[in-house]
Structure 1
Amino acid sequence: MARDVKIEQLWIPESLEAADAADFLAAVEVGRKVRMQTWGSDDLAYGPLEKLLEFQDPYERQLILVAKVDGAIVGTVDIALPLTDHLDIAEFTLDILPEYQRQGVGRRLLEAAEHFARGEGRTMILVDTNHPGASLHEFEPEQLVPGSGQGFVPLESREVEFARKMGYTLQHIEQFSSCALPLDTRLVADLQAEAEEANHGRYRLHHWTDRCPERWLEAVAALENQAGADVDPDLDVPVEQEMVFDGGILREAEEVAIAQGRRTVVTAVEHLATGTLAGLTTITVLAHRADVVFQDDTIVLQEHRGNKLGLLIKVANMERLTEQFPDARVIYTWNAPENRYLLTVNKQLGFHTAGVTGIWQKELPRLHSSTS
């Protein structure tokens, strides 16, 4: 057990140059070092300014608890409380410096975060564990499978052992993949030809960045709503109560992303016979790190599947990304292991499995009004 561990809420400064920003910068550095330990790079780490902008998100209340030993920050837990839906949920991201792991710091931080969440009326806690591809092979004989869907996490890993000891249950797995950019020009030509042959000129592509054209606004909202409702009946995956999108909500979300300095590159596909949008795909470029980008939703309506539209729009969007953001050198994405169609498309594009993320949950007892 690390001696003299002090848990406190992190002060969020007005700016990175402020006199009181030192602890904030130290906390962000903890997250960077943990990701270096896990993935061998800091591609997935927040930069200080990116992290500061996160606190302006109107859809989530965010705060950070830190663990200090001898006045130095050695661990952090980010707490995100959704404000528009999932009002019973709190999401935690726990980071402990490598040299302070297995010393009780994580347990102290997680217990403090759970106590805070319960006081806010949140009863369902979500945390994740991250496992690079090499560790999956190393521990392959000992696997822990999730409550729903496919995939596994290595049973003997430190993170899995800790989550189970703290009373968390593995709910599902997300496969984590990366692809080098730009795509090879011959590969692009081959994939575009394959996709176009499959859809016989029945579709047309549309592109935009940051803001959806007015003519497609309600169609994009309908696509997002359809994606939320479109759960494979063969999978034992709980359907969550999602926010219902409309044009106004999409415009608000666009303004939030722009205010945070994020860029959004979108390719949509129109079914020419009906003039409706059949699908879309989105890539996010962070405000202060243009070399690392993230593949977000790819949606194709059920009735238009089988025409290689997912391949068509993803190739086109990745090409568009490279034109607009030539510094982008790698794109990351997360997919459910059972989403074989998109995983196949990603493999064609050159994505390689980097690892998996395990999503864990724990239900907290509700606080009664009579308790002090």
Structure 2
Amino acid sequence: MATEVRIEQLWIPDSLDGPDSADFLAAVEVGRKVRMQTWGSDDLAYTPLEKLLELADPYERQVMLVAKVDGEIVGVVDIALPLVDTLDLAEFTLDILPEFQHQGVGRQLLEAAEQFARGEGRTMILIDTNHPGVSLSSPETEQLVPGSGLGFVPMGSREVEFARRTGYTLQHIEQFSSCLLPLDTKLVAELEDEAEQANDGRYRLHHWTDRCPDQWLEAVAALENRAGEDEVPPTKTEADMVFDGRLLREAEEVAIAQGRRTVVTAVEHIATGTLVGLTTISVLAQRQDVVFQDDTVVLQEHRGNKLGLLIKVANMERLTEQFPDARVIYTWNAPENRYLLKVNQQLGFTTAGVTGIWQKELPDLGPSTS
């Protein structure tokens, strides 16, 4: 029996305690339930306040469409429209309540989102599919390998079948890993000793939280521009935003306004006085027990000195000192980035699953004629 579905744009309330916040709270709860279904926990789900704060991001406009059945929200698609680069791009996050999957709700929401994106002049759409480790480990699992040639998603999964059926092509895989905190003190001592021996006193660590010291501002911006060189995400283009000190300061202020804390360790090459690597961990406003590893970059010419290991161990130790409630750290890496994957393995990260990045190009409607 066909389910009668009504698609509408979600009203974003000014606060969570007003009479107009019920639909927003229900939409966020849909996302939480879907992550519980996928991962067995809600570690990767937004709290309502985190989501509300994120919607004020000046670099990205977000619009949420919801699917209602009998007045109840049963599905949500979050549409992210970059505002400073890749202006032809829209990224969708599609969540359907488990009990309403396989009923055409997802297809109707996705078609509505594509129509909205096309109306905003966006012609390249990205969606993702998420696959826990248990779904990847069976030897009978038929594999779908992306265009990049590395990694796979399970061919028989409901999400994969849906993405293929709706015209999306698998472009890229990100490996999703987790590590329990705090790190074992014996392991930390061993890894720090290993890293110190390799760099032989030629490097010096610097630490800060939330705001980069003025003296390192332009150097950090330059390092951020090098982040991701080992990876080839499908969204990377020549027009991507190039960081400078001003933009870095703006990004820091956005993070602070959203309640996020940022723990950073950088490494200086003493002989030249230049920063040659850094690593960043983000702590969310509402949940300090779940944290996220962001960029780690070490300049190619300084690889082989175990600097990635050095800065990541030091930063995870600082995280535990400043945020003792942190119990797990999550990270995503491209399979191409063997350098960081090896470092993560030494630190105790284990594979939690993979995320498939899918792409579809919409026809460009061009200027309207009437």
Same fold by TM-score greater than 0.5: yes
Query: Equivalents in 1 of 2:140, 2:299: separation in Å?
Result: 36
* Offset of residue 305 of structure 1: 0.3
Paired position in structure 2 for 1:81 = 81
Q: CA deviation at 1:339?
A: 1.1
Aligned residues: 369
Residue among 236, 245, 257 paired with 2:255: 257
Report the alpha carbon displacement of residue 239 of structure 1 after superposing the two structures with TM. 4.7
Paired residues of 2:298 and 2:308 also in contact (CA < 8 A): yes
Residue 368 of structure 1 is matched in structure 2 by: 366
Change beyond 3 A, Cα 1:204–1:149: farther
Q: Of 257, 264, 267, which aligns to 2:265? A: 267
Moved over 3 A (4+): 138-141, 235-239
**Secondary structure of 1:269's aligned partner:** strand
Which of 268, 284, 296 is equivalent to 2:282? 284
Q: Which amino acid aligns with 1:10?
A: L
CA distance in 1, matches of 2:109, 2:306: 47
Q: Work out the CA distance in 2 between the residues paired with 1:139 and 1:25.
A: 41
Match of 2:246 in 1: 248
Identify the residue that residue 324 of structure 1 maps to in structure 2. Answer: 322
Q: CA deviation at 1:226?
A: 2.4
Q: Aligned to 1:245, what secondary structure does the other structure show?
A: coil
Counterpart-to-counterpart distance in 2, 1:149 and 1:266: 33
Q: Distance in 1 between matches of 2:11 and 2:224?
A: 36
Structure 2 CA distance for aligned equivalents of residues 309 and 221 of structure 1:
19
Cα 1:371/1:8, change in 2 over 3 Å: farther
Aligned twin of 2:175 = 175
Report the equivalent of 1:312: 310
Counterpart-to-counterpart distance in 1, 2:233 and 2:260: 35
> What SS does the aligned partner of 1:56 have?
coil
Cα pair 2:230 2:336 within 8 Å, conserved: no
Distance in 2, matches of 1:213 and 1:120, equals: 39
SS of residue in 2 equivalent to 1:137: coil
Q: Counterparts in 2 of 1:59-78, with a 5 A limit?
A: 59-78=59-78
Take 2:363 and 2:349, find their aligned partners in 1: how far apart are those partners? 42
Q: After superposition, what is the alpha-carbon deviation per residue over 1:214-255, rounded to whole angstroms, capped at 9, x for unaligned?
A: 000000011112235x347xx897852321110000000000
Counterpart mapping for 1:48-59 below 5 A: 48-59=48-59
Deviation string 1:83-130 (CA, Å, 9 cap, x unpaired) is: 000100000000000000010000000000000000000000000000
Conserved 8 A contact 1:283-1:296 = yes
1:268-325 deviations in Å (ceiling 9; x for gaps): 0000000000100000000110000000000000110000000000000000000000
Structure 2: unaligned runs, 5 residues or longer: none
The equivalent residue for 1:130 is: 130
Q: CA deviation at 1:141?
A: 3.5
Checking the alignment, whether the CA contact within 8 Å between 1:219 and 1:277 is kept in structure 2 is: yes
Letter in 2 for 1:35: R
Residue 346 of structure 1, aligned match among 309, 332, 344: 344
Are the equivalent residues in 2 in contact too, given 1:280–1:313 (CA < 8 A)?
A: yes
Higher mean alpha-carbon deviation, 361-370 vs 199-208, is at 361-370
User: Does structure 1 conserve the Cα–Cα contact (< 8 Å) formed by 2:227 and 2:296?
Assistant: no
Contact 1:149 / 1:173 at 8 angstroms: preserved in 2?
no
Partner of 1:93: 93
Give secondary structure in 1 for the equivalent of 2:253: helix
Question: Percent identical across equivalent pairs?
Answer: 82
> Is the alpha carbon distance of 1:148 and 1:119 closer, same or farther for their aligned partners in structure 2, counting shifts above 3 Å?
same
Structure 1 pair 97–238 and aligned structure 2 pair: CA distance change class (3 A): closer
Identify which range, 148-157 or 175-184, moves more after superposition: 148-157
Secondary structure of the 1:290 match is coil
Secondary structure of 1:94's aligned partner: strand
Q: CA RMSD in A?
A: 1.4
Q: Contact 1:140–1:154 (CA<8 Å) still a contact in 2?
A: no
Separation in 2 of the partners of 1:370 and 1:217?
45
CA–CA distance in structure 1, aligned partners of residues 145 and 199 of structure 2 = 38
Q: Distance in 2 between matches of 1:28 and 1:140?
A: 36
Aligned match of 2:333: 335
Query: Hey, what's the Cα distance between the residues in 2 that align with 1:42 and 1:138?
Result: 25
Scaled by the length of structure 2, the TM-score of the pair is 0.97
Counterpart residue type for residue 246 of structure 2 = G
SS in 1 for 2:365: coil
1:295 match:
293
Q: Is the 8 A contact 2:3 2:104 kept in 1?
A: no
**1:138: how far off?**
3.3
TM-score (norm 1): 0.97
- Quick one: distance in 2 between partners of 1:149 and 1:339? 13
Corresponding letter in the other structure for 2:319: L
CA offset at residue 370 of structure 1?
3.4
Match in the other structure for 2:46 = 46
Q: State the shift of 1:371 in Å.
A: 5.2
